[in-house]
Structure formats: structure tokens, C-alpha cells
Amino acid sequence: MTVTTVDRAALPNPTEEPSYLTSENTVASWLFTRDHKRIALMFFASITFFFFIGGMAATLMRLNLATPQGLLQPAVYNRMFTMHGIIMVWFFLIPSIPTTFGNFFVPLMIGARDLAFPRVNLASWYVFNLSGLIVLYSLIMGGADTGWTFYTPLSTIYANGYVLAAALAVFVNGFSSIMTSLNFVVTIHRLRAPGMTWMRLPLFVWGIYAVSVVMLTATPVLTMDTLLLAVSRFTGVGLFDPQHGGDPLLWQHMFWFYSHPAVYIMILPAMGVVSEIIPCFARRPIFGYAGMTIALMSISILSFFVWAHHMFVAGISIYSGVVFSLMTFFVAVPSAIKVFNWTVSLHKGRITFDAPMLYALGFILLFTLGGLSGMMLATLAVDVDVHGTYFVVAHFHYIMVGATVSAFFGALHYWWPKMTGRMYPEMWARFAAILTYVGFNLTFFPQFILGYLGMPRRSYTYPVDWQVWNVLSSGGASILAVAYTLPLLYLGWSLFRGKRAPINPWRATGLEWITSSPPPKQNFPHTPIVTREPYRYDPENGTFVTQEGTPYAE
Amino acid sequence: MYSWIPFWPDTAASSGHAVNTLFAAELALSAVIMLTVVVMMLHFASRYRKGSDASRADRVQKTWHFEIAWTAATLGMFLILFVYGAQIYVWLFRAPRGDEEVYVVGKQWMWKVEHPGGQREINAMHVPIDKTIRVVMASEDVIHSFFIPAFRLKHDVVPGTYETIWFKADRPGVYRLECTQYCGLQHATMQGKVVVMSGPDYARWLTTQGVHESMAEQGEKLFRAHGCSGCHGDNSTVHAPSLNGVYGTFVHLQDGSVRLADEAYLRDCILNPRSFTVAGYPPIMPDFSGQISESDLLKIVAYIQSLSGKQETRR
């Protein structure tokens, strides 16, 4: 094999076209764009905004919990954790990776010019922002006070806050999810470049595919559920009210039928991101590509059969408790396989520790700890003890924040040069990655202990003997706040002052790295022809081959 | 046994010991797995860092052997945990016939506890040691969750039905009682204490509560006041099933199904009789849904239980 020894960084841009950022400059050219890359950036702006709103609510909560008696009024605290949950789940975590990096990179990675339905993509952004306005309305008017889970009959009859507005926001938000996921499914089926077979798809694309299938199937159930909630609250129809022959648990069944898969909606794209970063920075192929795709798809299917594990103590029959526990252990198997495969993907690599890799390694550790606590929660008798306590809070934050947000920041750093054409300051980024890891563990590990001691969730006050753990957690949260804000500052700086990014700064094999940084509006000057599997890195000889089949020396 | 660990709560019931052992096993297992991942990661990260001269030859090409191995290992381990956890769960949530019963009503934002002898407490529950206590729970408004950390025992209290749990406390002392399902503004303060007492202490405590009527006696009055005795009483001429001895038996319904006449069934029959018409009887009973408070309902149920002689009526 002849090896091209030209340094990739020195290669000129393959096209003379202006980039997607500079091709048009009017405000209208952004607001009415159908370019998936611009829409991705617009989504990025929206979800970043909501991330910080949700983060402010979290800050107030941790501030309140620094002392046993609390600083906030009970009503304020209750509204804060409700809005924190609603905003973080539906306005940050669920859309986070798919609408930004998925939107930007799925077409680039499969060699397409755009998503299948560019107008639907733009519509999805507008619908998302409409739902965002509604949730902001609910927040500004005083917020809802039901918890993000809207349990009935509390939410239908007893709660006083702006529950209908919050539920409406969730309802509208679902349509954005559906539009975006439909777009991905069709795009991945129909618009792959010649030679891009299913088993040559980068794992990030597989992750987005798996998540889109789940979103498309599960979201309508939530849509119906919130509609029933609105009808019950608005008209007094007793769907969930036992006094009128309704069943309070019906809400929970429907809610978790969506919201458990939703947990996988948050984690599957993150798994995809990590599967891109690890081989690239370990300079070797991913360990068990086929196994990884099978694991992704089996998680997305099994995720539909575990919802009642949120209801082990809710009064479902003990037999269904037993069945759902078994199914929950089954869905944990592919996750465990993935952890082992990622870790072993470091074996005989040639590893560098740039910021994306630090985030990815952090992801693996936090995901493993979150997963192991999930194993405990799947065990029926242990769930009876720790259900509804801070143990559960710690568990899902390890998965949804520790793992998913780490992957989000990993993806942001990994693809930043491609998206903006600028390099970020590496030392600052590594510092932020390590700070995230430290701050995160300090915030959430004490919550496992608090939970096992019996501290109930959603309480504005607690006995004095638990203060030590709570203070540790609040202290960690302040570190985490810094770690999450830092990238905003240095990435913002890099937009203007950062070094110009070469085409392929990480020497990666995906198609997104063969076009210029940032890419032109049409993505590629010519349709790429794919001849290789992804991740053809060779640590033994220090070479790699792109998916187009061009070999390079390191 | 675990009291030296700073994050280990008190354990004071048989259920607590069972869960402790399982939890400790899972904790140890998790530590081993976590350590394996960390050690592997650190080892590979330092041995195969960019500058090292470790050999990169003979990388594993066929990965499926490994993948099958750790799939099988994980699955096997999970199945053991599943069976272990499920066994305890079934044992915990299938209430046996108790030595004593306690009735609990959750409402925003307090736990109301009533003993068969008529003794009432709020946010406190006194129980004797080494006895199997059945707790029959109802909610007056939203979903609450009854949790005693020292017993590792929790169950939601859902409006519209009864939930029954049981425990056997084995260490005298005062333990926390909590609500772990968010139930509105003052959810955080819906807390109380469980006082586990020796048999004689408990008997003494019961007599100092100044109570004159047992729950069943109060229930009997309500039974008359709501007109139940008109049809279900011994001298009634109306064709209605007799309630003597019905508690704890299996009842054949008009629709062909068979139900165990436990507390939840009796409650359903009172509130929604048309859905539970007993085989061979006309569906003529009016429904009492919305007319009887949860605590009165519990008294009527206690009275019907007493008709089966299963219920001591102590004062």
C-alpha cells in the first residue's frame, strides 16, 4: 500500500467555495436556512440557553440544601426542582446531542448534502423554540410544582402552579422530537453515499439511528399522556381520579412508557460520541464494531419493556414487578458489554489525552458507576429500600449528567474545529474536563450516601446529621458550575482568536474530516465514495485510512 | 454488624437484615467491577500512551470470543442478583396474617396512625417488638410513600385502594418514618417516628392513651349509621350476603371471578358495589363512593374483620 506522507494539516482546502458560515450573511439567511449545519448551530444556541436556565434552578436548589432548614420558601424550592427537571430533560438532554451534533454531522458522516427533509428540520427548530417560550412563560409566571414526573392526582387536582403551561410545553416539544427523529431515520436509510453500507456506518450514526427509532416510537405516548392530563385538569374528567373511577397509576404507566426509553434517548447518542472519540485518540479500531451496533440496537428495543421498574413500590402486582426486574437486568447487559469494549479499545493503542479523550474516559467511568447503581436499583428488594431517595437522584445524574453531558462536551471539543474552523485552547479545555470530573463526583457521590441513609428526594429540609454530605454536594456543585461555564468562555474566545483549524486536526477516518473546516454549504465538492470501514487506524505502523480509502502516515 | 460504617443506617427489622446482606453483596460486586475497569483503563492508558515503546504488534483481531465471554459472565451474574432480589421482594410484599394490625392514613401532609384498640397517633407509630405487624394503608388525597429506613421497607400509598405491608421489628428504639413520594408543598415535613417497644412497654403504652372504644366498635356504629346493617345485619330480610366470617375467605362474584376478601376487597365493595356483586345476589347496593372518609372506612373494615374473629378488639 502506498502511503501518502503529506501532513494533513498542511493540505489546502479542497474547495474554493466559501464556508457555510460565510456564504450568506443576512439575519434572514439564518432564520430561513435549510442548511442542516446552520440549523444545528441554532439548536446549539437554544439548548445552551436552556442548559443555563436549568442550571440556575439547580444552583438555587444546592444553595438551599447547604443548610438543613433551607434558605428558600418551600413553594419556591418545589418549583425550582420541578422546572430544573422539565427544562433539563426536555429542553437540554433529550435534544442535546441529536439536534446539534447529529444534525451537523450525520449528513457529513454518511456523505450526504443535507438531511432528507431540510424544511422539516427548520420547522423542528421553530417548534422547539415555541415549546421553549411556553416553558419560560410557565417559569416566569411562577412555575409548576408537581415534579417533572407530573404524578396524578397531585398534578390533576391538587397542584396550584402553572401545570397546564408546563405540560403544554412538553406536549409541543414532543413534535420537535418526532420531526427531528423522523428526519434522521429517513436520512440514514436513504441518503448514504455510495459504498456506505450499514456495517460501514460510524458508530455515532448508529447511535443517532437507534435513538431516532426510540424517539419516533415513544414520544407519541407522552403526547397522548400530557393531553389526557390537560383534559383531566382543565375539565375535571376523572381519568386519573379514583373518586370518578379513574386510576392514578395509569398516568405512571404511560409516562414511564415514554420516559424510560427517554433515558436511553439521552444516553444512546452519547455512546455514539464516545465510540468516535476513543478509537481516534487511541489510534486503533474500536474493539468489536459489530458487537457495538448490536448492543446499541438491543438497548433501543429492550428499553421499551422496562418502564414499570419505576413502579416497583407503586402498588403494581408483585408478579409484574418480578418480570420488569428481569427485563431491566437484560437491558443492562448490552451496556456492560459496551463499557468493556470501550475500555479494551485502549489496548495496544497509541493514546493521546486531548480534551475530547479526557471527556470520553470520564464518560466511561461515570457511566460505569451509574450503571452499577442501576444494577442495584434493578434488584427488587434493594429498590424497595432506596426508591424515592437521593440514591435514585445520584444514579440518574451519573447517567444523564455525568455520562451524557461529558459526552456532549467531548463532542463539542472534538468537532469544534470542524464546526467553526477554529482550534480551541487545549490546556484550558483539559483543565475544564478534569474539573468537570472532580466537580461532578463531589456533587453526586455524597448523594448516594444520603440516599442510603434515607434522605427523600424533593425535600427542602432535612435533619442536621445529614448536613456534612449535603455541604459536600453543594460545594461540588459550585465546582461543576465553573467547569460547565469555562468552555463557554474559551470557546467563545477561540471563535475570534483561535488558531485556524486544518481539515483533519485529529487525523480521524470519518467523511466529515475530508471536507474543509468549516465545510462549504454543499458539504462536499463531489459525492464521496466509501470503500472502507470506519476507524482504520493502525497503531503498529502509525498509519490510518479514511473511509474513502486514502491512506495517510501519522 | 454494619454499624461501624458511617453511611450505614440503623437496622431494626427482619426485612432490614435481609436487604442489608443483599446490598452489601452488590456493593462488593460493584467495587470489584469498578476497580477492574479503572485498573484496566489506567494500565492501558499508561502502557500504550503515545510516547511509550510497548509493542503494538498482534492486536486482538477476533473480538467475539471476548464479547461472548463477558456477555455470559454479566448475564449469569445478573440472573443471580435478579433471583436473590426477587425472592426477598415477594417475601416483603406478600403480607402474612399478622399478630397485630395497624391502620395508616396518609394525607397532605401527615401520617395518621390508628391501632385496633382505637388508639390514635399522628406522625408516630408505636409497635411491639418481635411481632408480625400488618400495616393497612390508605391515602385521602395524593400518592404518598410510607418509608421506614431502619426497616428498609417502603410502599406507595395510592388513593383509591388499600396497600398492605408487614414487618417484624427486632430492636427497641425510635426510628424515622418518612414520605418518599413528592406529595405537594410540605412533602418534606411529612415525617414522623416509629417507636419499637418491648411487649410489656407496648401494652402499658396502649392503656395510657385514654381510649374508650376500639376501632371495630366505632366501625359497628358507623355500620349502623350508614345503614349497612339494614341489609347486612343478622335480622335483615333483604337478600344481601352475610358478613359474618367473610374476611379472609374467597368470594365468588357474579362475573365469575373469585376474590380474596382482604381489606382492599372490602373497601372496593363498599365504594363500588356494582363491580363486585357477589354471585347469587341482586346488584341493589348503593355505592358509598365519596361519602365516607378514609379513616371511617378503615373502622368499618375493622368491624367487618372483627366479625370473623380474626381481629382482637383490645382497648
Q: For chain B, what are the domain ranges?
A: 14-93, 100-207, 215-309
Q: Long-range contacts made by residues A225-232, C-beta under 8 angstroms, separation at least 24?
A: A225/A251, A225/A254, A225/A255, A225/A258, A226/A150, A226/A167, A226/A168, A226/A170, A226/A171, A226/A174, A227/A171, A228/A254, A229/A150, A229/A152, A229/A155, A229/A156, A229/A167, A230/A164, A230/A167, A230/A168, A230/A171, A232/A152, A232/A156
> Measured between alpha carbons, how far is A243 from B162 in angstroms, rounded to an integer?
14
> Measured between alpha carbons, how far is B67 from B81 in angstroms, rounded to an integer?
21
DSSP string, A93-149: IHHHHIIIIIHHHHHHHHT-SS-S-HHHHHHHHHHHHHHHHHHHHHHHHT---STTT
pLDDT at B218: 92
DSSP annotation of B137: E
Check CB contact under 8 Å for B45 and A384. Answer: no
> Measured between alpha carbons, how far is B287 from A245 in angstroms, rounded to an integer?
12
> Measured between alpha carbons, how far is A486 from A413 in angstroms, rounded to an integer?
13
Q: Any chain A CB within 8 A of the CB of B143?
A: yes
Give the pLDDT mean for B206-230: 89
The answer to whether residue B315 scores a pLDDT higher than 60 is no
Neighbours of B204 (CB within 10 A): 11
Q: What is the pLDDT of residues B101-147, one digit of tens each?
A: 999 999 999 999 999 999 999 999 999 999 999 999 999 999 999 99
The CA-atom distances, in angstroms, between A484 and each of A59, A404, A434, B244, B304 are 12, 13, 11, 68, 62
Nearest residue in B to A368, CA atom: B34
Check CB contact under 8 Å for B272 and A245. Answer: yes
Q: Any chain B CB within 8 A of the CB of A325?
A: yes
DSSP string, A452-485: HHTPBSS-S---GGGHHHHHHHHHHHHHHHHHHH
pLDDT at A5: 45
> Measured between alpha carbons, how far is B17 from B1 in angstroms, rounded to an integer?
10
Q: Which chain B residues are within 8 Å of A375, Cβ to Cβ?
A: 26, 30, 78, 81
DSSP annotation of B15: H
Mutation for testing the A interface, residue in B180, B272, B289 having most A CBs under 10 Å: B180
CA distance B313 to chain A (A): 29
Q: What is the pLDDT of residues B46-78, one digit of tens each?
A: 999 998 999 998 888 888 889 999 999 999 999
Mutation for testing the A interface, residue in B187, B287, B297 having most A CBs under 10 Å: B187
Q: Any chain A CB within 8 A of the CB of B56?
A: yes
pLDDT at A163: 92
Q: Any chain A CB within 8 A of the CB of B270?
A: no
Q: Which residues pair with B230 in a beta bridge?
A: none
The CA-atom distances, in angstroms, between A85 and each of A51, A67, A366, B175 are 11, 22, 20, 31
CB pairs under 8 A between A and B: 259
Give the pLDDT mean for A135-160: 92
Scan residues 369-388 of A and list those with Cβ closer than 8 Å to B: 369, 372-373, 375-376, 378-385, 387-388
The answer to whether residue B3 scores a pLDDT higher than 90 is no
Confidence of residue A10 (pLDDT cuts 50, 70, 90): very low
DSSP string, B233-280: STT--S-----TT-TTSEEEBTTS-EEE--HHHHHHHHH-GGGGPBTT
* Contact status, residue A239 vs residue A201, Cβ threshold 8 Å: no
The answer to whether residue A9 scores a pLDDT higher than 70 is no
* Contact status, residue B18 vs residue A371, Cβ threshold 8 Å: no
Q: Which of A154, A346, A461 sits opposite B44 (nearest CB)?
A: A346
> Measured between alpha carbons, how far is B182 from A154 in angstroms, rounded to an integer?
9
pLDDT at A13: 54
> Measured between alpha carbons, how far is A181 from A201 in angstroms, rounded to an integer?
17
Q: What is the pLDDT of residues A343-389, one digit of tens each?
A: 999 999 999 999 999 999 999 999 999 999 999 999 999 999 999 99
φ/ψ (deg, to 5) at B282 = -75, 145
* Contact status, residue A504 vs residue A545, Cβ threshold 8 Å: no
Of all residues in chain A, what percent carry a pLDDT higher than 90?
91
The answer to whether the complex's ipTM is over 0.95 is: no
Of all residues in chain A, what percent carry a pLDDT higher than 70?
97
Q: Are strands B163-167 and B153-157 parallel, antiparallel or unpaired?
A: unpaired
Show the DSSP H helices in A191-236 as ranges. Answer: 203-235
Give the pLDDT mean for A547-554: 91
CA distance A117 to chain B (A): 38
Check CB contact under 8 Å for A454 and B176. Answer: yes
Check CB contact under 8 Å for B59 and A378. Answer: no
pLDDT at B1: 62
Mutation for testing the B interface, residue in A249, A346, A354, A437 having most B CBs under 10 Å: A346
* Contact status, residue A479 vs residue A499, Cβ threshold 8 Å: no
The whole-chain average pLDDT of chain A stands at 94
C-alpha cell, A522: 454543499
The answer to whether residue A1 scores a pLDDT higher than 50 is no
Q: Which residue type sits at A439?
A: G
CA distance B290 to chain A (A): 7
Which helix (H) or strand (E) is A77 found in, with range? helix A74-86
Q: Any chain B CB within 8 A of the CB of A282?
A: yes
Nearest residue in B to A369, CA atom: B34
The answer to whether residue A12 scores a pLDDT higher than 60 is no
The answer to whether residue A212 scores a pLDDT higher than 80 is yes
Domains of chain A, by residue range, sit at 8-553
Check CB contact under 8 Å for A315 and B81. Answer: no
Of all residues in chain B, what percent carry a pLDDT higher than 90?
64
> Measured between alpha carbons, how far is A333 from B11 in angstroms, rounded to an integer?
32
Nearest residue in A to B181, CA atom: A388
> Measured between alpha carbons, how far is B191 from B193 in angstroms, rounded to an integer?
7
Scan residues 394-413 of A and list those with Cβ closer than 8 Å to B: none
pLDDT at A16: 65
Q: Any chain A CB within 8 A of the CB of B19?
A: yes
Give the pLDDT mean for B261-278: 88
pLDDT at B191: 94
Measured distance between the N- and C-terminal CA atoms of chain A, rounded to whole angstroms? 15
Q: Any chain B CB within 8 A of the CB of A317?
A: no
Q: How much is the CA Rg of chain B, to the nearest whole Å?
A: 27
Strand arrangement of the beta sheet that strand B153-157 belongs to: B124-128, B192-197, B173-179, B144-148, B153-157
Give the pLDDT mean for A152-156: 91
Scan residues 107-126 of B and list those with Cβ closer than 8 Å to A: 108
Q: Any chain A CB within 8 A of the CB of B69?
A: no
Q: Which chain B residues are within 8 Å of A369, Cβ to Cβ?
A: 34
DSSP annotation of A320: H
Q: Which chain B residues are within 8 Å of A467, Cβ to Cβ?
A: none
Q: A89 by DSSP, 3-state: which?
A: helix
Q: Which chain B residues are within 8 Å of A343, Cβ to Cβ?
A: 37, 40-41, 44
Q: Which chain A residues are within 8 Å of B26, Cβ to Cβ?
A: 375-376, 379, 382
For the segment(s) A8-553, the CATH number from 3.40.50.300, 3.40.50.720, 1.20.210.10, 3.40.640.10 is: 1.20.210.10
Backbone angle region of B109, left / alpha / beta, with phi > 0 → left and psi within -120 to 50 → alpha: beta
DSSP string, A362-414: HHHHHHHHHHHHHHHHHSHHHHHHHTTBHHHHHHHHIIIIIIHHHHHHHHHHH
pLDDT at B173: 95
Q: What is the pLDDT of residues A265-290, one digit of tens each?
A: 999 999 999 999 999 999 999 999 99
The residue count for chain B: 315
Q: Which of A361, A372, A540 sits opposite B34 (nearest CB)?
A: A372
* Contact status, residue A466 vs residue A450, Cβ threshold 8 Å: yes
CA distance A281 to chain B (A): 10
Give the pLDDT mean for B7-24: 93
Confidence of residue A123 (pLDDT cuts 50, 70, 90): very high
Check CB contact under 8 Å for A461 and B189. Answer: yes
> Measured between alpha carbons, how far is A503 from A276 in angstroms, rounded to an integer?
17
Q: Which of A326, A378, A389 sits opposite B180 (nearest CB)?
A: A389
* Residue linked to cell 440518574: A396
The answer to whether residue A8 scores a pLDDT higher than 60 is no
Give the pLDDT mean for B283-302: 89
C-alpha cell, A24: 450568506
Q: Are strands B124-128 and B192-197 parallel, antiparallel or unpaired?
A: parallel
The answer for residues whose C-beta is within 8 angstroms of residue A442's C-beta and 6 or more apart is: A472, A473, A475, A476, A479, A480
For the segment(s) B100-207, the CATH number from 1.10.10.10, 1.20.1730.10, 2.60.40.420, 3.30.530.20 is: 2.60.40.420
The whole-chain average pLDDT of chain B stands at 90
CATH architecture of the domain B215-309 equals: Orthogonal Bundle (1.10)
Q: Which chain A residues are within 8 Å of B87, Cβ to Cβ?
A: 381
Q: Any chain A CB within 8 A of the CB of B50?
A: yes
pLDDT at A147: 93
